[in-house]
Structures are given as structure tokens and as C-alpha cells.
Amino acid sequence: MNHTFKAVGAKASTMVICFLLSKNEKKLERKV
């Protein structure tokens, strides 16, 4: 059960990182 929770947490954090990166990319595109 704990292992599954860790896997879900890793997936969630990866999604958050991807989301933040895409947000930053959009901001950079607007500046340019």
C-alpha cells in the first residue's frame, strides 16, 4: 500500500513540474 502511494505521489509531482514548466515556457514566449 505504501509503495502504491509513493508511485502516485511521484506521478503527481511529475505532473506539477511539467505544468509549471509549460507555464514558464508560455511566459517566455509572450516576452519574445
Low-confidence ranges of the chain (pLDDT < 70): 1, 32
**What's residue 10's pLDDT?**
94
**What's residue 22's pLDDT?**
93
**What's residue 4's pLDDT?**
87
**What's residue 20's pLDDT?**
93
**What's residue 5's pLDDT?**
85
Question: What is the rounded distance in angstroms from the CA atom of residue 26 to the CA atom of residue 8?
Answer: 27
Question: What is the rounded distance in angstroms from the CA atom of residue 12 to the CA atom of residue 28?
Answer: 24
- Give Cα separations from 19 to 8, 9, 12, 29, 31 (angstroms): 16, 15, 10, 15, 19
**What's residue 1's pLDDT?**
61
Per-domain boundaries in the chain: 1-32
